[in-house]
Structure 1
Amino acid sequence: MTNVEILYHKIITILILSALYTAGIGLFFYVKLLGTEEILLIKQSSRFVIVPLSMAIGFVISLVIGIAELVLFEKWTKYSFLKFVLYKYSLIVATIILGEICLFILLENRNVPIEKVFNDLPNFIKSDTFIAIFIYLLVFSIALNMWEAATEYLEPAAILDSLVGRYKQPQEEDLTFIFIDLKSSTRLAEKLGHKAYSQLVDECFALLTNCLYQHKANLYQFVGDEAVLFWQRDFASKTAAPIHLYFDFCRAIESKKEEFMEKYGEVPHFRAAIHEGTVTATVIKSMKKCIVYHGDVLNTCARIMGLCSQYNVDILVSANIKNWTSTHKKYEITLADKVILRGREQETEVYTVRQLAK
């Protein structure tokens, strides 16, 4: 995924959150003011515009916070946790307060001189209405931030599945998995030290995440320097998304090789294994709930990954994946060997994949 596509994805997310923010503010003013004695405190000429005007101000507030999310908050992550939280929520609080003040001025200034509006402003800031609006908007902002953070770890569809209890009972699903693992990880960790090694892996997985969005992959888990992604089997076979993702990921790393050499003295290389089949999805209930997949598919894919070192190749796929190349001519697939994997009695064919020159 290009930087433009990543930016587009973030903008869409922010617009969705802004819409929720705006709707929440409109609902608040409708419930809080209309039909209660507080409506009597609002001038007759302003009563019918307070909800749409508050929603407009709310939308502006949410856009300011959203733009800060794109422009500032990412840069502030280099600060300590306390400093980051202080800076972020100071900006959010200041934006909410300014938004409330603007709403008050716009409502009051409809039939009152601006001088009187500014004279009344201190009383408004000390009023219960101001405090109630402020607390509501702050709590709502925190809730939306929590939702956004949750979607970074679990995609919205997975959160929805959890809310509706889709995996309350084990479900069988036909999935395609790709295991992606860093080559020579032990040597790199010893050479770089744990901190620099962790930074290297983090930078690589940031590039992988970009590819994940582009090829509509689902993240199952990161385990150390290994990532496990999956797709619905029909989608994967029609699009060859797992193979495309792997080679795009390799190209993304290659495009950053000078930066990697300068920072770490190494260019990382990753190997991959792809396999598909039926798994059982269920929810494990412990200190936190998580969706896990059980079945021979995952074990087989992990063992195929282990064969990459034995055959000194970067990618191995199962026989099922071989059939994709009949409709996707960008790749050449070659039989590497027929092996008996640990725990199995029958031979398994494994194939190497090479991207053809354009």
Structure 2
Amino acid sequence: MANVKIPYHKIITTLMLSALYTAGIGLFFYVKLLGTEEIILIKQSSRFVIVPLSMAIGFCISLVIGIAELLVFEKWTKYSFLKFVLYKYGLIITTIILGEISLFIIFENKNEPIENVLNDLPNFIKSDTFIAVFIYLLVFSIALNIWAAATEYLEPAAILDSLVGRYKQPKEEILTFIFIDLKSSTRLAEKLGHKTYSQLVDECFALLTDCLYQHKANLYQFVGDEAVLFWQSDYASKTAAPINLYFDFCRAIEHKKQHFLATFGEVPHFRAAIHEGTVTVTVIKSMKKCIVYHGDVLNTCARIMSLCSQYNVDILVSKNIKKWSSTHKKYEIALADKVVLRGKEQETELYTIRRNS
């Protein structure tokens, strides 16, 4: 268990969901249960304890479920769908029931001997309060699971933008894009076979996702073995986040070099292209809504990426990126060439970047 490395973003998501779970059970007791018959019978002097105590128990429940989500449920995905659902929600239901029983025993034991409390336990389990809390926490657990699953496919920012209708009308923004692509992908796919190759790409993108959260990048899309990320250009220029992300990603792969050699026989290498400019952001309405980015920036960045192999470099950036990246002293910038990109009339200056030792 000590060798298990939990992705940073999953830890943050679990903590956020635990906070929501804790707040949710506290709110439920405060709003829904303070007027029920069982709660009215509680001594007036003890009523104020029920909400914080319920939140403490709720936090413990969420912590158990959260740890299971990080360390157990992922291993159960190899089971059949029905078996996975039975195991997962069986554990969640058991945790909720034990949490409710613990809340009852701790609270009642303040006023009654433990023998009396245990004798009253069967009546509590059959009470409306127990059933109401159980149904609420089970539904709330399912809702949070749906939210967590949604954020795995659509990042939280995209979900919020969709809810508030931010891009209902096309909007222009100045963004910085980075394209990150696996080198020699065709050769690797033929050598490893599609299933093992997919596992390789999946492990690499798991490392990239950690870097994505660390450098506050926005994910536009994964296309095969290529990832497209972006930032608001103001933030990118101040922090050099796109360049930092690329080199940190390469370093993360290097740290797992022995694992990749043992598992796949090779260490993957990625190349990158970075460019910035004005794009139009809008929502495409088809079978599902998608936020899309239109503009020459993406086409240019893709063409710059295609030149990395020609110049035998791992990263190429445009002149726009060179202007602000040169102010960050930990990088060396060098002119690679001036070329006329396909579809353009004027020359484009391309630069390579190397991190100082």
Tell me, yes or no, whether TM beats 0.5: yes
Task: Report whether the alignment pairs 1:67 with 2:103.
Answer: no
| Cα distance between partner residues in 1 of 2:125 and 2:186 | 60
Q: 1:287 aligns to what SS in structure 2?
A: coil
Contact 2:7 2:210 in 1 (8 A): no
How many percent of aligned residue pairs carry the same amino acid? 86
Task: Describe the superposition over 1:291-344 as per-residue Cα deviations: whole angstroms up to 9, x where unpaired.
Answer: 111100001101111112222222111111111243122222222222222222
Structure 1 unaligned residues grouped into runs of 5+: none
**Which residue pairs with 1:279 in the alignment?**
279
Task: Describe the superposition over 1:29-58 as per-residue Cα deviations: whole angstroms up to 9, x where unpaired.
Answer: 223222344544545564443223222221
Task: Describe the superposition over 1:257-311 as per-residue Cα deviations: whole angstroms up to 9, x where unpaired.
Answer: 2222222222211111110001111111222222111100001101111112222
Contact 1:171 1:281 in 2 (8 A): yes
Structure 2 unaligned residues grouped into runs of 5+: none
**Which residue pairs with 1:205 in the alignment?**
205
**Which residue pairs with 2:115 in the alignment?**
115
CA RMSD, Structure 1 to Structure 2 (Å): 2.4
| Cα distance between partner residues in 2 of 1:135 and 1:64 | 18
Task: Describe the superposition over 1:65-92 as per-residue Cα deviations: whole angstroms up to 9, x where unpaired.
Answer: 2233333334444444443333222221
Q: 2:152 aligns to what SS in structure 1?
A: helix
**Which residue pairs with 1:191 in the alignment?**
191
Task: Describe the superposition over 1:159-182 as per-residue Cα deviations: whole angstroms up to 9, x where unpaired.
Answer: 222221111111111110010111
**Which residue pairs with 1:241 in the alignment?**
241
Contact 1:174 1:278 in 2 (8 A): yes
| Cα distance between partner residues in 2 of 1:289 and 1:280 | 16
**Which residue pairs with 2:263 in the alignment?**
263
**Which residue pairs with 2:158 in the alignment?**
158
Give the letter for the 2:294 counterpart.
H
Q: Which moved more, 1:186-195 or 1:105-114?
A: 105-114
TM-score, reference length from structure 2: 0.91
Q: Which moved more, 1:199-208 or 1:153-162?
A: 153-162
Task: Describe the superposition over 1:196-227 as per-residue Cα deviations: whole angstroms up to 9, x where unpaired.
Answer: 00001011111111221222211111000000
Give the letter for the 2:166 counterpart.
R
Assess, with a 3 A threshold, how the Cα gap between structure 1 residues 7 and 193 changes in structure 2: closer, same or farther: closer
Matches within 5 A, 1:127-166: 127-166=127-166
Q: Which moved more, 1:146-155 or 1:292-301?
A: 146-155
What is the deviation of 1:116? Answer: 2.6
| Cα distance between partner residues in 1 of 2:208 and 2:339 | 30
Q: 1:308 aligns to what SS in structure 2?
A: coil
**Which residue pairs with 1:317 in the alignment?**
317
**Which residue pairs with 1:87 in the alignment?**
87
Q: 2:259 aligns to what SS in structure 1?
A: helix
| Cα distance between partner residues in 2 of 1:269 and 1:16 | 34
Assess, with a 3 A threshold, how the Cα gap between structure 1 residues 5 and 169 changes in structure 2: closer, same or farther: farther
Contact 2:9 2:210 in 1 (8 A): no
| Cα distance between partner residues in 1 of 2:81 and 2:225 | 25
What is the deviation of 1:63? Answer: 2.0
Assess, with a 3 A threshold, how the Cα gap between structure 1 residues 85 and 8 changes in structure 2: closer, same or farther: same
Q: Which moved more, 1:160-169 or 1:12-21?
A: 12-21
Matches within 5 A, 1:275-314: 275-314=275-314
**Which residue pairs with 1:337 in the alignment?**
337
Q: 1:111 aligns to what SS in structure 2?
A: coil
Q: 1:310 aligns to what SS in structure 2?
A: coil
TM-score, reference length from structure 1: 0.91
Assess, with a 3 A threshold, how the Cα gap between structure 1 residues 353 and 172 changes in structure 2: closer, same or farther: same
Contact 2:174 2:276 in 1 (8 A): yes
